[in-house]
């Protein structure tokens, strides 16, 4: 797979460069762009961004691995991230994680065989008032119950 | 009751600039531009506006730390990282009243003679970042951001910058490193950001709610804001109540509202008719309270007097039947996962706390483990670059001080009396 930003992404990248006094500040936004464009942050993507910004790939790599949102490996089409922090746990998150795992037939950290779903447990999503909460790709799903989870997953299947 | 922030939050259109302006939005900015920067800072000082990000530092005083020398540009960074478990209030401001924040930023920037500003928003808040981006574009188009704002000669650029999933980036120096494109490692202070901050420039970091309060202060005067709260702690607070209550959510209440009233009246009391077991009052790092301690004024000073903090305003309610060892174990997992690893007492200490609390919960606790936890905490407190080590140690200590019998019972019986579940 060739890693090269689409025209839209390249335009976004160029606009980003004008927003900071320093090129390095564009590293995080570029990694977000790369993940959106290529699905995950591959070694090739790191080399590509390093080239665009004129810094070493090792520097980009060090940054990319520090942050949990950058996937260094491919994930499923839908990344199901269930919160297991305290407010969610108090309202049954542990049980719901087991439920999702059972439904998808994968353990947390795993991807379904058809590559469609990856299941992760994450820390507080900053939506504790509507616990239990999960995030699938860019979207939040709140006040979860077994039934609502089933309906959500069914829609994506 | 007087509301400062949420008055129009039920109105879906409020996030658009036209509706916002129809309620007098951006009038405070116009007024500010006819004031002197010093006069604005004075109002904020009079308001007793305390930072809403956790530490509660007086905003006006912090603003005064910027150097007098104007030869170098300055930066205003808005902390929208919202990572402290139990805290979910800034998201409400960003999604329901983004212009309130943008107007507050513009006023603060004018007062601080800042021309470059960034909203650092946690990466997971994709939807909120989009809403902010749209609102920022509207504000530019209407002449409230950009060059020569409202013909005043004042320029301000504002950019929404997304984080990427690291709790530590909420700490202000870590946030600055992250904004610069580095790993989010906290910096040693001094130098303080006000002298050497983002891109080496003098920088002020403020929480979203802190800045969103500013337009009201300018419109109504600092004294009126101060009068809503209590002495030394002015205004309202957005208090997020989560856990086992009937009506979880964000409530705007005067600083100094009684904590018991927050839980029982506003949040509707404990779910399923259960009894209350414990309250974590101001985000997951604040020392836990027992039910007999919650008849207290929810303000910075009063909470400090009883050995805890109002912190970021996140009240987590724990019902009877919850295993406190398991609850602590969840928190220790979190802090150990989020330690950036720079300081040995934090890296090792959070790891040990996770391990020891985990084994007690698993029924493998050893005699002396409780003392060991307290000892590890002593070796963490105040010995690190940033306060994350304390943020992990404070709940550990307080859970043991207040629920010691549960830890002893786990160790004595070599099992979790609650069956290793929440
Ligand atoms: C580990 C850690 C995490 C923090 N997370 C946040 C956060 O998510 N949001 C926030 O506004 N402040 C957070 N803070 C506090 C900031 O360092 C800083 O005090 C605050 O943004 C200052 O703004 P204020 O004075 O307006 O409150 C955190 C502090 C620490 C030590
Ligand atoms: S206290 Fe912990 S999180 Fe803070 S700088 Fe040290 S190791 Fe990093
Ligand atoms: S604890 Fe789950 S969203 Fe905060």
B299-323 residue pLDDT tens: 999 999 999 999 999 999 999 999 9
Is the preceding peptide bond at A146 cis, omega within 30 degrees of 0?
Answer: no
Show residues of chain B in contact with A138, CB under 8 Å: 126-127
Please give the C-alpha separations between residue B211 and each of B60, B231, B311, B342, in angstroms, as whole numbers. 11, 20, 17, 31
Provide the ipTM: 0.97
Is the preceding peptide bond at A132 cis, omega within 30 degrees of 0?
Answer: yes
The stretches of B69-112 forming alpha helices (DSSP H) are 90-96, 98-112
Q: Do A62 and B126 touch (CB under 8 A)?
A: no
The stretches of B206-251 forming alpha helices (DSSP H) are 208-212, 214-220, 222-228
Is the Cβ atom of A91 under 6 angstroms away from ligand 3? no
Give yes or no for B416 touching A (CB within 8 A): no
Residue A1 pLDDT = 56
Mean pLDDT of B283-288: 98
| Closest Cβ–Cβ partner in B88, B249, B330 for A86 | B330
Please give the C-alpha separations between residue B408 and each of A121, B288, B324, B353, B417, in angstroms, as whole numbers. 30, 18, 12, 16, 11
Q: B185 C-alpha vs ligand 3 centroid, how far in Å?
A: 24
What are the φ/ψ torsions at residue A103 (nearest 5 degrees)?
A: -60, -45
Q: Do B88 and A29 touch (CB under 8 A)?
A: no
Ligand nearest to the CA of B351: 2
Interface test with A, best of B115, B130, B164, B262 (most A CBs within 10 A): B164
Q: B127 CB contacts (<8 Å, ≥6 apart)?
A: A138, A139, A140, B95
Q: Do A123 and B337 touch (CB under 8 A)?
A: yes
Please give the C-alpha separations between residue A66 and each of A46, A136, B2, B113, B338, in angstroms, as whole numbers. 14, 21, 43, 34, 10
User: Nearest CA of chain B to the CA of A33: how many Å?
Assistant: 11
Q: Which of A83, A91, A92 to mutate to test the pocket of ligand 3 (most atoms within 8 A of CB)?
A: A83
Q: Do A25 and B280 touch (CB under 8 A)?
A: no
Residue B2 pLDDT = 86
Give yes or no for B284 touching A (CB within 8 A): yes
pLDDT at A126 over 70: yes
| Closest Cβ–Cβ partner in B167, B199, B327 for A123 | B167
Give yes or no for B82 touching A (CB within 8 A): yes
- Ligand 1 atom with the shortest distance to the CA of B81: 8
> pTM for this one?
0.98
Give yes or no for B116 touching A (CB within 8 A): yes
Mean pLDDT of B136-160: 98
3-class DSSP assignment, residue B298: strand
Nearest CA in chain B to A64: B183
pLDDT at A132 over 90: yes
B371 near B410, Cβ under 8 Å?
A: no
Beta bridge pairs of residue B160: B119
Interface test with B, best of A126, A130, A131, A133 (most B CBs within 10 A): A126
Interface test with B, best of A94, A125, A128, A134 (most B CBs within 10 A): A128
Residue A101 token pair: 């795992």
The average confidence (pLDDT) of chain B is 98
pLDDT at B1 over 80: no
Give yes or no for B86 touching A (CB within 8 A): yes
Nearest CA in chain A to B339: A66
Overall residue count recorded for chain A in this entry: 157
pLDDT at B325 over 60: yes
Give yes or no for B187 touching A (CB within 8 A): no
Mean pLDDT of B63-81: 97
Q: A100 C-alpha vs ligand 3 centroid, how far in Å?
A: 17
Residue B390 pLDDT = 98
User: Nearest CA of chain A to the CA of B87: how many Å?
Assistant: 6
Show residues of chain A in contact with B82, CB under 8 Å: 126
B262 near B254, Cβ under 8 Å?
A: no
User: Nearest CA of chain B to the CA of A137: how many Å?
Assistant: 9
Give me Rg for the CA atoms of chain B.
Answer: 22
Residue A2 pLDDT = 76
Confidence at B272, pLDDT banded by 50, 70, 90: very high
Residue B230 pLDDT = 98
Distance, in Å, from the CA atom of A8 to the CA atom of A143, rounded to the nearest integer, reads 36
Is the Cβ atom of A85 under 6 angstroms away from ligand 3? yes
For chain B, positions 340-379, list CB contacts with chain A under 8 A: none
The pLDDT tens digits for A44-58 are: 999 999 999 999 999
Confidence at A117, pLDDT banded by 50, 70, 90: very high
Nearest CA in chain B to A81: B124
Closest CA relative to residue A123, chosen from B85, B317, B256: B85
Q: B171 C-alpha vs ligand 1 centroid, how far in Å?
A: 5
User: Nearest CA of chain B to the CA of A62: how many Å?
Assistant: 7
């Amino acid at each position: 797979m060739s890693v090269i930003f689409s025209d839209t992404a390249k335009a976004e990248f160029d606009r980003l460069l004008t927003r900071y006094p320093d090129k390095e500040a564009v590293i995080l936004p570029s990694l977000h762009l790369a993940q959106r464009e290529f699905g995950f942050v591959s070694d090739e993507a790191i080399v590509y961004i390093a080239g665009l910004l004129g810094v070493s790939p090792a520097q980009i790599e060090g940054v990319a691995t520090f942050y949990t949102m950058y996937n260094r490996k491919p994930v499923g089409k839908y990344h199901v991230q269930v919160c297991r922090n305290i407010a969610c746990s108090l309202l049954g998150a542990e049980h719901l994680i087991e439920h999702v795992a059972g439904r998808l037939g994968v353990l947390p950290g795993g991807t379904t065989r058809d590559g469609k779903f990856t299941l992760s447990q994450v820390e507080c999503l900053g939506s504790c008032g509507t616990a239990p909460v999960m995030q699938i790709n860019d979207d939040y799903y709140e006040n979860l119950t077994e039934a609502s989870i089933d309906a959500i997953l069914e829609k994506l299947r | 009751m007087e509301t400062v922030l949420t008055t129009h939050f039920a109105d879906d259109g409020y996030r658009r600039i036209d509706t916002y302006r129809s309620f007098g939005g951006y009038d405070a900015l116009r007024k500010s531009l006819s004031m002197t920067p010093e006069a604005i800072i004075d109002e904020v000082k009079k308001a007793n506006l305390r930072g809403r990000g956790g530490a509660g530092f007086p905003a006006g005083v912090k603003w005064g730390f910027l150097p007098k020398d104007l030869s170098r540009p300055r930066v205003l960074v808005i902390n929208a990282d919202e990572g402290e478990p139990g805290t979910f209030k800034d998201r409400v401001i960003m999604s329901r009243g983004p212009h309130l924040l943008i107007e507050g930023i513009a006023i603060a920037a004018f007062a601080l003679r800042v021309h470059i500003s960034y909203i650092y928003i946690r990466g997971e808040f994709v939807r909120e970042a989009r809403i902010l981006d749209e609102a920022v574009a509207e504000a530019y188009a209407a002449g409230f951001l950009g060059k020569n704002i409202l013909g005043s000669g004042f320029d301000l650029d504002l950019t929404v910058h997304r984080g990427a999933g690291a709790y530590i980036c909420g700490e202000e120096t870590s946030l600055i490193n992250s904004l610069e494109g580095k790993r989010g490692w906290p910096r040693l202070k001094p130098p303080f950001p006000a002298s050497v901050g983002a891109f080496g420039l003098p920088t002020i970091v403020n929480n979203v709610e802190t800045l969103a309060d500013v337009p009201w202060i300018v419109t109504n005067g600092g004294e009126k804001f101060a009068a809503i709260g209590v002495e030394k702690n002015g205004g309202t607070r957005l208090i997020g109540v989560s856990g086992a209550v009937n009506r979880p959510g964000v409530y705007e209440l005067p600083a100094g509202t009684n904590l018991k009233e927050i839980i029982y009246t506003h949040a509707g009391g404990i779910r399923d008719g259960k009894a209350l077991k414990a309250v974590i009052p101001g985000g997951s790092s604040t020392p836990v309270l027992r039910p007999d301690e919650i008849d207290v004024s929810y303000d910075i000073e009063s909470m400090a007097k009883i050995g805890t903090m109002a912190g970021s305003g996140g009240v987590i309610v724990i019902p009877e039947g919850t295993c406190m060892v398991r609850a602590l174990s969840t928190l220790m997992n979190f802090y150990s996962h989020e330690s950036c690893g720079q300081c040995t007492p934090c890296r090792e200490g959070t790891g040990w706390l996770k391990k020891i609390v985990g084994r007690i919960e698993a029924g493998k606790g050893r005699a002396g483990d409780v003392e060991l936890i307290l000892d590890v905490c002593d070796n963490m407190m105040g010995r690190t670059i940033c306060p994350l080590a304390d943020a992990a140690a404070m709940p550990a200590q307080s859970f043991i001080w207040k629920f010691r019998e549960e830890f002893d019972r786990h160790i004595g019986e070599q099992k979790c009396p609650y069956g290793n579940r929440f």
